[in-house]
Chains A and B, each alone.
Chain A
Amino acid sequence: MSLFNLFDTAGSALHAQTIRLNTISSNLANANSASSSTGKTYRAREPVFAAIVDNFSTGEDAVKGVRVVGIVESQKPLRREYQPGNPLANKDGYVFMPNVNVVEEMANMISASRSYQTNVEVMNSAKQMLMRTLSMGQ
Chain B
Amino acid sequence: MPMNFDSILGINEKALNMEAYRARILGANLANSDTPGYKARDIDFKAVLSEAKTGNRIEPLTVTNKMHIQPEADTFGTELMYRRPLQPSLDGNTVETQVEMAEFTENALHYLTSLRIINGRFNKILSAIRGE
Contact = CB atoms under 8 A, between A and B. Distances in A.
A56 to B, nearest CB: 10
Given A58-B70, A121-B101, A129-B111, A63 B36 contact: no
Interface residues of B, number: 36
B41 interface: yes
Interface in B1-58: 17, 20-21, 23-25, 27-28, 30-36, 38, 41
A118 B23 contact: no
A3 B23 contact: yes
Interface of B: 17, 20-21, 23-25, 27-28, 30-36, 38, 41, 70-75, 79-80, 97, 101, 104-105, 108, 111-112, 115, 118-119, 122
Contacts of B72: 58-59
Chain A interface extent, by class: 35 or more
Contact of A119 (B21, B30, B71, B105): B30
A6 B22 CA distance: 10
Given A58-B70, A136-B118, 19 more contacts: A1-B17, A1-B21, A1-B24, A9-B31, A13-B32, A13-B33, A49-B35, A51-B38, A58-B71, A59-B79, A63-B28, A66-B31, A66-B34, A111-B34, A112-B34, A118-B101, A119-B31, A122-B31, A129-B23
